[in-house]
Amino acid sequence: MAFELPNLPYGYDALEPHIDARTMEIHHTKHHNGYTTKLNGAIAGTELEGKGIEEILTALDMSNGAVRNNGGGFFNHSLFWEIMSGDGGGEPTGNLASAIDDAFGSFEGFKEKFSASAGTRFGSGWAWLCVHKGGKLEICSTPNQDNPLMPDTGCEGYPILGLDVWEHAYYLNYQNRRPDYVAAFFNVINWNKVSEIYEANK
């Protein structure tokens, strides 16, 4: 069973004005679709064919560039679409809010640290909020399409929130102004979904 490009849980224009429809359409139909197609090509006829994406990534041979780049791209974007919403923004509640306060002092503390992680990633990559078994949270960042599920990335735990800081994610609307894009992202975070992923993986 080959991997399939997931549908967005909303329309391409749902995140406007924070993320524009044209960027979303190209990002989904070209970039994410490309990773999906190339992932299927890379695993076809190998022992990885038929395995789940998390199983593939957690046991990944990091020298396998095709699966590393395209498997990461497939997983990362699938998560990215899910944790945004046109009704997003605000702050988390419940256990996740408590865990954020424990780890970062306050929601503002989290926002600052996550924004710094996204802002200082040189070149292309992702900023992550990850949960460890037991519920403790960590912020980290990875280059390219690497992610915390992969071995030895310097990021550990299960990713519950990810921000794509590749230029393809923001250049049409924000050009070189990555900090403006990062700030806008906080207006579309679907904290209910992030909480759901937190609870399922803590």
Least distance (Å) from Mn ion to the CB of residue 79?
A: 11
In the chain, what's the furthest Cα-to-Cα distance?
49
Instruction: Name the one range near Mn ion by CB under 5 A: 120-128, 136-144, 159-167, 187-195.
Output: 159-167
**Three-state SS at 31:** helix
Residue 104 interacts with Mn ion (CB under 5 A): yes or no: no
Least distance (Å) from Mn ion to the CB of residue 25?
A: 13
Residue 114 interacts with Mn ion (CB under 5 A): yes or no: no
Residue 35 interacts with Mn ion (CB under 5 A): yes or no: no
Nearer to Mn ion, 104 or 181 (CB): 181
Residue 164 interacts with Mn ion (CB under 5 A): yes or no: yes
Instruction: Name the one range near Mn ion by CB under 5 A: 44-52, 59-67, 107-115, 158-166.
Output: 158-166
Using CB atoms, what's the residue nearest to Mn ion?
164
- CA 34 remoteness from chain centre: 17
Nearer to Mn ion, 33 or 135 (CB): 33
**Three-state SS at 32:** helix
Residue 166 interacts with Mn ion (CB under 5 A): yes or no: yes
The length of the chain is: 202
- Angle subtended by helix axes 107-120 and 178-185, to nearest 10: 150
Which residue type is seen at 15? L
Residue 146 interacts with Mn ion (CB under 5 A): yes or no: no
Least distance (Å) from Mn ion to the CB of residue 180?
A: 17
3-state per-residue secondary structure call for 53-113: HHHHHHCCCCCCHHHHHHHHHHHHHHHHHHCECCCCCCCCCHHHHHHHHHHHCCHHHHHHH
Residues that bind Mn ion (CB under 5 A): 31, 164, 166, 169
